[in-house]
Chain A
């Protein structure tokens, strides 16, 4: 195929179809991608603003905080501070990509390559997404959540539901299971398992054992604390889960609302851990596809230049002393690492042979990359595959701010001594287990005033931001229904600081009242 897909900037639905088909040919045929069926939706800028406000999802339950986000984005957009994204893609099956009506034909091509194939492949194949998100069910679940919460608002009052969601949102970052556990079962398997257990009991039942003196052998008694800990599954890092299951004073609908917030937090959790990879895959994919389109004469030189301009903007990384610098651009880092891995596969240097013996010179970048895309998240990807070459190109250095010292310290730079140390420190920045404060429910004072005890394991002296912590703790106390104590404890178990909160005893958090 060497026919031009389009000329000029205008596009029609046939053009999009044609572009999609050609891009699909390259993506599946040459890059061997594996994607969910695609659904491309054309929307206006206003609808894009709406989508922004709802965490990118097409449906979401109502809450003022989404209105706040809308006002924020709208304000920035109208003032011209920010452009809107050209696309938005949803991890669902079929995979929905929103494209803006104002995009040129070239931009639509870029967006389709980037989102409908790059992101789509990553969603479908990355282990984290496979383990934690249910792409086929998410849209239905969002619809359910929206209806359920609207129903609650009608029945129990909008303000009551709003306060409950406020509280749940405050704890949302601590409403996820961080380490994989047993997969959630659906109702059907649950029933089947119950039946299985009963049959097993019947099969092994033998009256003879009942006649033994001393009765059935007892399991050794555990201490009351251990018993309690087992019963409540303590310590528990998923605070929303703990409240949903254990909080004594919540009504069933309140538990269900907590569950909705928790499950959505869990759904978004993989995205937080794979920003660099996700954007890296998508950017690398669109770069390969656009080049291929240009080589095979499907787009004009002019269009290709337009692409290069846009691509260069996307992967721009200002340096640390640049006014524009705020943080590492995940597009830039991801793209740099992916292209470097490809180079290592095809044209390795001696250094690469030392560092990546299994990749260097394997000459099969497509499969090597696909394997990496499937099995890593940002933290492990960086700690494994950030090459000295990229660190040199980026001129990375590691800066430490230790309050015990009068100055900042340059811990390592991009040299032979520093590569591994930089890489380790850099990978840690992408480890949500490291960046998020580690907070667990550790105990409940059942003998006393039912105080809930929560513990923050402080690392390297990083205490919680105090004002916000006590606000969140207030919400936690409201949900728990009794006092709450938050202990900040250092690595050696010494208490550093304590916060307490009493339930404000207001309407929504007291069960019993319909």
Chain B
């Protein structure tokens, strides 16, 4: 008999098969992920978790009998039945299951209709965001590599004391001391001890020999320094071009009175998608939230999504605010700028001209990408809004889409942020 400890064997033997399964279930799984994210509370969008997919896409069919025909079963636990008793057929499938008519008891789990898959946050997001790419990041990154930064590049013999490479210096010193046989201080101490002992024992010959030895050691120690200037090394830095892969995303939302809860909800979802998307794809991304009524305010994420406000609508105020923030904090030389705006399209009369000017002369030239999402009530037959017309007249203008139901958000999002080479039209 052998007892073998297999616990240390590499685990995760099923991982390749699990991945095959996820690939196989890919289409239904992506669909399920999208549906789930549409019905989930915003904050949980990025959390992964269990999704339910219909078993149809991934079932393993086999020949087995269905519910037709005669079925018979022997069951335990008879209480009152006598031979020849008649029992009404259980109605439905759920409650009367125990009566065991035997129907539908085919093998192979043919009865399952849905299948639960637990996805990690990573898997969830990568299914969620498949094929999406922030537009133009690539291009701008290449064109803006002229900013330079300092990068470590080996050691140098000269430099400022602040850059002293201590461990390297000490290593050099140590090897030099060993090569030149500089006496160690412990050796000297040992000799001193031996000398003292010899003197106590009045062993003059030994004492004399030791004195000479100590003398020569002393000379050597003084001649060979502990640290010599030739040991010293400094950390060397050289300038190198630093790619600007950092981006700032402005989320601008209209929270004025004309925006209904439904519209806000859609806008929120759009931004939430954006937010998840940015955090997933790019490490160095800052997000600025600006909400506006007739005046604009920069707020933190929580306030942006959760608190309420009422008032009129002046889009230009938000645009002005965005411009101000860009000037103050995000110089175009260092940042790629993306702007996404959600609004119901209502704007105060007379403000459209200001907005046009701000867009044409300010935001559009500065930004890589400007997405405008117009939200509306379902089945609304309102003709295109004044703001839509205003933006539509701009040349080049922002990427624009109009959504009326929650289910539309995701397709629109995908379309707006599709990989550049597939995109049919953007700015």
Please report A residues at the B interface, Cβ cutoff 8 Å.
13, 16-17, 20-21, 24, 37-44, 46-47, 49-50, 53-54, 62-68, 70-72, 74-75, 78, 94, 98, 101, 162, 166, 169-174, 317-323, 325, 327-328, 394-403, 406-415, 417-418, 422, 425-426, 429, 435-437, 439, 456, 458-466, 468-469, 471-472, 475
A460 to B66, CA, bound (A): 12
Q: Are A62 and B68 in contact (CB under 8 A)?
A: no
Stretch from B57-65, B163-171, B401-409 forming part of the interface with A = B57-65
A318 to B73, CA, bound (A): 15
Q: Are A462 and B68 in contact (CB under 8 A)?
A: yes
Q: Is the interface of A mostly helix, strand, loop or mixed?
A: mixed
A204 to B16, CA, bound (A): 60
Stretch from B4-12, B40-48, B126-134, B154-162 forming part of the interface with A = B4-12
Q: Are B62 and A401 in contact (CB under 8 A)?
A: no
Q: Are A173 and B11 in contact (CB under 8 A)?
A: no
Q: Are A71 and B117 in contact (CB under 8 A)?
A: yes
Q: Are A42 and B24 in contact (CB under 8 A)?
A: no
In the assembled complex, the CB of A105 is this many whole angstroms from the nearest CB of chain B, namely: 13
Contacts A66-B14, A397-B81, A407-B86: A42 and B4 contacting too (C-beta < 8 A)?
Answer: yes
27 example contacts (A-B, Cβ-Cβ < 8 A) are as follows A13-B3, A13-B5, A39-B4, A43-B6, A44-B11, A46-B12, A47-B7, A66-B14, A68-B25, A98-B6, A320-B99, A325-B100, A395-B78, A396-B75, A397-B78, A400-B72, A403-B70, A407-B86, A407-B88, A408-B88, A418-B83, A439-B63, A458-B69, A461-B69, A461-B70, A462-B65, A463-B66
Closest residue to A59 on the B side, CB-wise? B13
- For B116, the chain A residues whose CB sits under 8 A away are 72, 75
Q: Are B75 and A320 in contact (CB under 8 A)?
A: yes
Q: Are B88 and A24 in contact (CB under 8 A)?
A: no
Stretch from B102-110, B256-264, B353-361 forming part of the interface with A = B102-110
CB neighbors of A among B10-24 (8 A): 11-14, 16-24
Please report B residues at the A interface, Cβ cutoff 8 Å.
1-7, 9, 11-14, 16-25, 50, 58-79, 81-89, 98-103, 105-108, 110, 115-118
A458 to B14, CA, bound (A): 39
In the assembled complex, the CB of B132 is this many whole angstroms from the nearest CB of chain A, namely: 25
A421 to B237, CA, bound (A): 93
- For B78, the chain A residues whose CB sits under 8 A away are 320, 395-397, 413-414
Among B18, B60, B69, B82, the residue within 8 A (CB) of A462 is B69
Closest residue to A61 on the B side, CB-wise? B17
Closest residue to B84 on the A side, CB-wise? A410
Closest residue to B79 on the A side, CB-wise? A395
Known contacts A325-B77, A415-B83; 20 further A-B pairs (Cβ under 8 A): A42-B5, A43-B9, A47-B9, A170-B61, A173-B63, A173-B107, A319-B76, A327-B105, A395-B76, A400-B70, A406-B89, A407-B89, A408-B86, A408-B87, A408-B89, A410-B81, A410-B84, A422-B74, A462-B65, A462-B66
Q: Are B63 and A174 in contact (CB under 8 A)?
A: yes
Closest residue to B62 on the A side, CB-wise? A173
Q: Are A413 and B18 in contact (CB under 8 A)?
A: no
Closest residue to A394 on the B side, CB-wise? B76
Contacts A66-B17, A320-B98: A402 and B7 contacting too (C-beta < 8 A)?
Answer: no
A459 to B69, CA, bound (A): 8
In the assembled complex, the CB of A261 is this many whole angstroms from the nearest CB of chain B, namely: 12
In the assembled complex, the CB of A146 is this many whole angstroms from the nearest CB of chain B, namely: 12
Question: Lowest 9 CB-CB distances: which A-B pairs, in order?
Answer: A319-B77, A67-B21, A461-B69, A67-B17, A462-B69, A465-B66, A64-B20, A320-B75, A460-B70
Q: Are B14 and A67 in contact (CB under 8 A)?
A: yes
Contacts A16-B3, A398-B72, A461-B70: A408 and B99 contacting too (C-beta < 8 A)?
Answer: yes
A422 to B25, CA, bound (A): 45
Closest residue to B18 on the A side, CB-wise? A67
Contacts A68-B21, A320-B76, A396-B78: A413 and B83 contacting too (C-beta < 8 A)?
Answer: yes
In the assembled complex, the CB of B328 is this many whole angstroms from the nearest CB of chain A, namely: 49
A407 to B86, CA, bound (A): 6
Q: Are B21 and A101 in contact (CB under 8 A)?
A: no
- For B70, the chain A residues whose CB sits under 8 A away are 400-403, 460-462
- For A317, the chain B residues whose CB sits under 8 A away are 76
In the assembled complex, the CB of B161 is this many whole angstroms from the nearest CB of chain A, namely: 54
Q: Are B75 and A38 in contact (CB under 8 A)?
A: no
Contacts A41-B4, A101-B7, A401-B101: A50 and B73 contacting too (C-beta < 8 A)?
Answer: no
A321 to B77, CA, bound (A): 8
A261 to B68, CA, bound (A): 30
- For A464, the chain B residues whose CB sits under 8 A away are 63-66
Closest residue to B4 on the A side, CB-wise? A41
A49 to B83, CA, bound (A): 46
Closest residue to B90 on the A side, CB-wise? A408
In the assembled complex, the CB of A109 is this many whole angstroms from the nearest CB of chain B, namely: 13
- For A426, the chain B residues whose CB sits under 8 A away are 74
A16 to B62, CA, bound (A): 43
A20 to B4, CA, bound (A): 13
A436 to B65, CA, bound (A): 8
Q: Are B82 and A413 in contact (CB under 8 A)?
A: yes
A207 to B70, CA, bound (A): 65
In the assembled complex, the CB of B181 is this many whole angstroms from the nearest CB of chain A, namely: 55
- For B23, the chain A residues whose CB sits under 8 A away are 64
Q: Are B6 and A463 in contact (CB under 8 A)?
A: no
Contacts A320-B99, A439-B63: A64 and B87 contacting too (C-beta < 8 A)?
Answer: no
- For B66, the chain A residues whose CB sits under 8 A away are 462-466
In the assembled complex, the CB of A165 is this many whole angstroms from the nearest CB of chain B, namely: 10
Q: Are B16 and A62 in contact (CB under 8 A)?
A: yes
A430 to B115, CA, bound (A): 29
A65 to B61, CA, bound (A): 12
Q: Are A71 and B18 in contact (CB under 8 A)?
A: yes
- For A75, the chain B residues whose CB sits under 8 A away are 50, 116-118
Contacts A49-B14, A50-B13, A401-B89: A396 and B74 contacting too (C-beta < 8 A)?
Answer: yes
Q: Are A53 and B14 in contact (CB under 8 A)?
A: yes
A266 to B302, CA, bound (A): 62
Among A44, A322, A395, A462, the residue within 8 A (CB) of B71 is A462
A400 to B75, CA, bound (A): 11
In the assembled complex, the CB of B67 is this many whole angstroms from the nearest CB of chain A, namely: 8
